[in-house]
Structure 1
Amino acid sequence: MIKVLIVEDDPMVSEFNRRYLEQVGGFELIAIAPSVADALHILDHQEIDLILLDIFMPGMNGFDLLAQIRKLGQGVDVIVVSAACDSQSIKKALRYGAVDYLIKPFEFERFKTALSAYREWVSMTKDQEKLSQAELDIRMLHPNPLTVPSELPKGLTRNTLKTVWENIQETKTSSFSTEEMAKRVGISRVSMRKYLSFLTDIGVIEMEVIYGSIGRPIYQHRCLKPESDLIKRYF
């Protein structure tokens, strides 16, 4: 479970955030802090993985907390939840290392998207000592699922994609070729190549080129994350 601290001085907003958090699996609310001083006290005594942080509060503000966290080198991530929508505030939060920025008021779906993306990243980095370029690109180029294509490319269908993914999951971490997977699923190699290309683009599988002593190179694929939540949005 990802341990969460909500830092918010408005009781109504903190309650909304708490209720939203309860609806997203994999997170445990440790405490709600109405001020930066309270948040620092909690961080000194509790293990926290993620802070949902408001910016403007009486006394020290959210930027002060971000600065203190970075100064101390604490391994805690921050998602800013603020009404501040000016570019300077957003840039400042990102420079301090905020992993996402939610502008109040926001819908539950945007909240869920931010938390789901963070959970996916935590799971990926926890289970593997090393990351491939494809895995890293999902975080660096697509910080959250909103920037990943929301619809399947033209020519792909949900049912076939689901069948392809189920067969890929069965391979676990074993490599497979386009031809091998096409035979398993029962579609042409040309069609399978399109599905594998899409799955590579969204970072749930990777492709590697194996060069033999003679002949053409062999393109092999490997599943990066058999239990990825990212693929489910396309079913």
Structure 2
Amino acid sequence: MTPAPPVRVLLVEDDQRVARVNRDLLERDPGVHVVGSAASCAQGDALARALQPDLILLDVHLPDGSGLGLLHHWRAAGLLTDVALITAADDEASVRLALAHGAFDYLIKPFTGARLAELVARHRARRPAHEGGPRLDQAELDRVLGVIPSAVGGLPRGIDPHTLERVAAALRAAAGSVSAEDLGERVGLSRVTAWRYLEHLVRTGEASLDHHYGQSGRPAKLYLSTDTSDAR
């Protein structure tokens, strides 16, 4: 089988230290190649057009403008490259605007290496099997959109039964409610992967949501097993 082509990534980040860290994290994956790094909107626009990367990781706060404005400019010009925001901008308005302009993911600094790897994996999953082809069938379109159809007579696709049991057992053994990040550390999964399994347990009634409000006033999404048979 012919190996998949590498994911060619452009970084648009004005903090050179952060850009180096992100490059190092990305290139831990041998299938990822950072083809360029820009420190401004103008540089990012020029490199995006010259290098034609597969994936652009874009900051919001740049010295000559907003990354959100640059994203809007790209989409208006017909640039359909996958763009993900990696930024300290954590306000809901920025997130909504980024998604409205076609960003497929949004990471709030600081983030984990596992979450960045999950972003790249999501990009790979979105790439059509025949890039440039004129049409997609529904199954391939669902994969590009990230839709997880239910498997006939079993678990949804993307939910492994052995991993599900590990997550369920760890949740039952937890002393009280836990976050997806905490549970992921216990069973060796990324926060996003643990979250996906926990949400499945909520849907099937094996877990419940337990929202807590911290000093910031934002609800923390915690999970609690509804089956305490394994509780210590």
TM-score for the superposition, normalised by structure 1: 0.57
Q: Match of 1:55?
A: 60
Residues 46-195 of structure 1 aligned to structure 2 (within 5 Å): 46-126=51-131, 130-142=135-147, 151-152=160-161
Cα distance, 1:28 vs structure 2: 1.7
SS of residue matched to 1:126: coil
Q: How many residues align?
A: 154
Q: Match of 1:31?
A: 36
Cα distance, 1:11 vs structure 2: 1.2
Q: Could you list the per-position Cα deviations for residues 162-186 of structure 1 after superposition, in whole angstroms to 9, with x for gaps in the alignment?
A: xxxxxxxxxxxxxxxxxxxxxxxxx
Give the distance between the partners of 1:54 and 1:42, measured in 2 at CA. 15
Cα distance, 1:79 vs structure 2: 0.9
Are the aligned partners of 1:51 and 1:79 in contact in 2 as well (CA < 8 Å)? yes
**Is 1:13 the counterpart of 2:18 in the alignment?**
yes
Q: Could you list the per-position Cα deviations for residues 123-169 of structure 1 after superposition, in whole angstroms to 9, with x for gaps in the alignment?
A: 535297644433333343549xxx97555289999xxxxxxxxxxxx
Q: Which amino acid aligns with 1:66?
A: L
Structure 2 unaligned regions, length at least 5: 1-5, 149-155, 167-232
Cα distance, 1:66 vs structure 2: 0.5
Give the distance between the partners of 1:29 and 1:154, measured in 2 at CA. 32
SS of residue matched to 1:30: strand
Give the distance between the partners of 2:82 and 2:146, measured in 1 at CA. 18
Structure 1 unaligned regions, length at least 5: 158-235
Give the distance between the partners of 2:109 and 2:147, measured in 1 at CA. 22
Which structure has more relative contact order (CA 8 Å, sep 6+)? It is 1
Largest Rg, 1 or 2: 1
Q: Which amino acid aligns with 2:41?
A: V
Give the distance between the partners of 1:76 and 1:69, measured in 2 at CA. 9
From the two aligned structures, give the one with the greater helix fraction: 1
Give the distance between the partners of 1:132 and 1:111, measured in 2 at CA. 29
**Is 1:22 the counterpart of 2:27 in the alignment?**
yes
Give the distance between the partners of 1:3 and 1:97, measured in 2 at CA. 19
Cα distance, 1:93 vs structure 2: 0.3
Q: Quick one: percent identity of the two aligned structures?
A: 34
Give the distance between the partners of 1:130 and 1:7, measured in 2 at CA. 32
Q: Which amino acid aligns with 1:152?
A: P
Q: Which amino acid aligns with 1:106?
A: F
Cα distance, 1:29 vs structure 2: 1.0
